[in-house]
Each structure stands twice: as C-alpha cells, then as structure tokens.
C-alpha cells in the first residue's frame, strides 16, 4: 500500500527513519512529508535515504504538477500516517488549518488518516490537547494511544510515541481489516444496509430539585462511536442520548433525553421494528422518589438530608424480554469487582445476545479517549478487545455483532 508518512516537530522524530524501514519491510511504499519543526529533529536526507523518495515540505512547490503537491500526494496515498504528531500539529489539524504541506494533505484527502502522538506527559494530559484529540477522533481520524515511560525531558508518564514496530503492526492490522471487509461489504450500502439500529449513549440525569441532580461520569463517547460505525456500515441509526458535550453524528437520528424514564419511552418507540438494540448508556439505577418543585434549603441545626430513592426502569431487560424484541440485543456492563461473574450474570438475567464488559475500577474508562473490553456471548465465548481508541473498539464490537447476525441468519435457514 502507499503510505504518506508525516513527521512533525517532536523529539520522537528520531524514530521516524526506523518506522520507514519497518513499513517498507512490510511491503509498503512510503513517501515522507515533513513540517518545519520535524526538520529540526531529523534531516530530510536521512528520511530520503531510507524511503527511496525525495522528502517534501513546501506547500507550493513548483516541482509538483501545478504547484499542488498536497493534491498529488493526497491522491497517491492509501493512508496518511503522521508519526510523531506533535501537540502543535494536532491543534492545527483540529482547527482545520492548512498552513503547511502536511496539514494541507490531511484536509485534501479522502483516504484514512492515522496519528501517533508524541509529546511531554503534561502536554498530552492538557485539556486543550485532549479536546483536540477528541475532535479529530470524532472526525474518524485514527488516534494511536501514546505509551507511558521515561521521556526525553527527564519526566515519566503517558505521551511517548508508540514504538515503530507497534505502529507498523497497527498499520498492518488496519490494512488487513480493510482487506477482510472488501469482499463482503457493498461500497454503496454496507453489511447493515436495510437494518434499523437503536443505540443509547451517555448518562441519565435524575433531578433532586430544580438545581440539583443525580448522575454519573459517562461521557457518551463509546455510544457515539458505535453510532458512527453503525452508520458507516449502512444502518439506519437512532441514537438516544443523555446529556453529553459531543457533536451530533452526521446522518444519525439523535433523540436527546435527560432522565431514565425519558430514555425508556424514547427507546420503546425507537425499537419498533428495530433489528439491533445496543444499550451503551450509563442509566442511573435510582431516582428521587419525590422530586422537590423548589430548591431544597439547608435546615438550621441539621447536618443531614435524607433522600428517598426509587428504582428506575431496566431499559435493556425491558426491550430484550419484550414482545417486540429486536433480532439482537447488546448490553454494556461497567463493573468494579467480580467483573466476569457479574457480566455473565447480566447476560442471562437480561436475555441479551452479548455483553460488552468495562472494568471501571479506579476511575478507568469514563471520559477517556480509549477503552478496552471483554465481549461475552450466549455461546459462552469471551472475546477480548485490547486497549485502543473508542472508535476502533466500536469497530471491533460491530465485527462481533456482524458474526451474531450471520449466525442468526444461519439459524433461521436451518429451522425453516
């Protein structure tokens, strides 16, 4: 395959020549595009020697046809891989900037884009950087999770660019997935064309009074990633979402709700005639039995306020056990202890076809850009999904769902 490798201004650029060599060993053609910052860490001549192609960096180079090298390279590439991707470059890409050749190529391509960030641990953890990462991920740019360890600045933490072999393996898996799907996916329709998919996402908000509420830490990123993947696979998608700070996915019918009761009613209506229901929302188990119509005031002389809670509806069980059950029902389990036992129990109790298990002990997963999971199916099989960006995790979940649909179709044929 043809890979445009972008090298931006990070000390991790010293690994780029080795990355070029590893990609070429895997049989890929590699052309290198550098930012001015990247040239401060490794010379174009070095990368030209290992790639076999001249290294380019000028946005308007008269050596290219009509001086539009960004268009030529964007058309040539099967993948745009930027390694390392500095905080500065990530910021410019998130803003849609095209001030140099590398960022212009990203804007001018319809091909997949993959970023391998590399920066100081504090820069990686900065909320502005994480906001930019989230925006790029929502735009279907593949973000490789940085590694943790000693950094060139002497600090230790998350932010190291993945090693060249790791990046090569990720690229290989990416192309293999494309190849595996090529024979079974109709480019115009997709394997879920004609199927109606209902997905819940985010938290629910259970009001105590007009200014206070009970909720949880769910960001909705996993559910929104699932909605985007389902749409790309050709499905008609209904996304029932609690309050989140995420943009609405394109070509998805978004139904905004607040409470568990509102979500229950919306899901019942949306699941009419649905083929697949995925309950990814973090629904509050309880709500206040008697919501106050006015703000509850502090009481002099009392250090306690007692709230009576009542159980919320079980949305997943209601749909999965109901008379209008979709063909497949998939649930999520966020557990902190006895995680596998709880997931297996939930699989049976709620009459679902698959449980996607999150280990959220120690504050993991919630709000993060990446995730890792165990998938539990009714046949007793357990499929692990390694830690990766939530969009990649969503794609792997749908790989499992497509297998379940295939099995369901075979069962119908065998029983007819």
Tell me which residues are annotated as active site: 153
φ/ψ of 63, rounded to 5, equals -70, -20
DSSP helix/strand/coil, 37? coil
Among the listed residues 58, 127, 119, the one whose alpha carbon sits nearest the alpha carbon of residue 83 = 119
Residue 314, marked binder: yes
Nearest CA to 178 out of 112, 116, 222 is that of 112
Determine whether the annotation assigns residue 313 to a binding site. yes
346 is in an annotated binding site: yes
Q: Is residue 344 a known part of a binding site? A: no
CA angle 271-372-204, nearest 5°?
40
Q: Judge whether 184 is annotated as a binding position.
A: no
| 128 annotated binding-site participant | no
CA 90 to chain centre: 17
Hunting for tokens 């394997």 — which residue is that?
A: 191
Query: Looking at the chain, how many residues does it have?
Result: 416
Residue 401 marked in a binding site: no
Residue 97 DSSP SS3: coil
Please report how many Cα atoms fall inside a 13 Å half-sphere around the Cα of residue 354, on the Cβ side. 24
Residue carrying structure tokens 């306020």: 305
Q: Count CA atoms within 13 Å of residue 37 on its CB side.
A: 18
3-state DSSP assignment of residue 148: strand
Which of 135, 136, 131 is closest to 106 using CA atoms? 136
**Residues at the annotated binding site for CTP?**
285, 295, 313-316, 332, 346, 350
Detail the residues annotated as belonging to a binding site.
Answer: 285, 295, 313-316, 332, 346, 350
């Amino acid at each position: 395959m043809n890979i445009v490798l972008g090298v931006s201004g990070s000390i991790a650029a010293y690994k780029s020549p080795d990355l070029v060599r590893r990609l070429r060993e895997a049989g890929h053609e590699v052309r290198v595009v550098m930012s001015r910052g990247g040239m401060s860490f490794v010379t174009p001549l070095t990368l030209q020697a290992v790639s076999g192609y001249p290294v380019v960096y000028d946005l308007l180079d008269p050596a290219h046809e009509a001086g539009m090298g960004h268009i030529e390279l964007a058309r040539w590439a099967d993948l745009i891989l930027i390694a390392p991707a500095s905080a500065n470059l990530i910021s410019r890409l998130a803003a849609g900037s095209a001030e140099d050749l590398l960022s212009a190529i990203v804007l001018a391509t319809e091909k997949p884009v993959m970023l391998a960030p590399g920066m100081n641990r504090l820069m990686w953890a900065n909320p502005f950087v994480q906001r930019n990462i989230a925006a790029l991920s929502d735009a279907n740019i593949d973000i490789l999770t940085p590694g943790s360890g000693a950094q060139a600045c002497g600090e230790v933490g998350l932010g190291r660019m993945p090693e060249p072999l790791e990046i090569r393996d990720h690229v290989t898996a990416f192309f293999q997935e494309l190849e595996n799907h090529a024979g079974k996916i109709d480019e115009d329709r997709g394997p879920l064309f004609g199927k109606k998919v209902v997905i819940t996402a985010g938290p629910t908000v259970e009001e105590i009074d007009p200014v206070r509420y009970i909720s949880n830490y769910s960001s909705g990123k996993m559910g929104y990633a699932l909605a985007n993947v389902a749409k790309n696979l050709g499905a008609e998608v209904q996304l029932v979402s609690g309050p989140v700070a995420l943009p609405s996915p394109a070509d998805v019918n978004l139904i905004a709700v607040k409470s568990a009761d509102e979500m229950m009613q919306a899901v019942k209506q949306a699941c009419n005639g649905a083929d697949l229901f995925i309950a990814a929302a973090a629904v509050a188990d309880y709500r206040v039995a008697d919501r106050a119509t006015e703000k509850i005031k502090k009481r002099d002389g009392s250090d306690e306020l007692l709230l009576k809670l009542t159980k919320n509806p079980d949305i997943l069980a209601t749909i999965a056990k109901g008379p209008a059950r979709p063909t497949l029902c998939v649930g999520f389990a966020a557990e902190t202890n006895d995680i596998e036992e709880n997931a297996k129990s939930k699989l049976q109790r709620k009459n679902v076809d698959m449980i996607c298990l999150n280990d959220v002990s120690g504050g993991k997963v919630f709000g993060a850009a990446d995730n890792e999971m165990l998938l539990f199916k009714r046949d007793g099989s357990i499929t692990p999904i390694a830690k990766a960006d939530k969009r990649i995790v969503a794609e792997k979940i749908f790989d499992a769902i497509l297998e379940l649909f295939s099995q369901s179709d075979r069962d119908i044929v065998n029983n007819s």
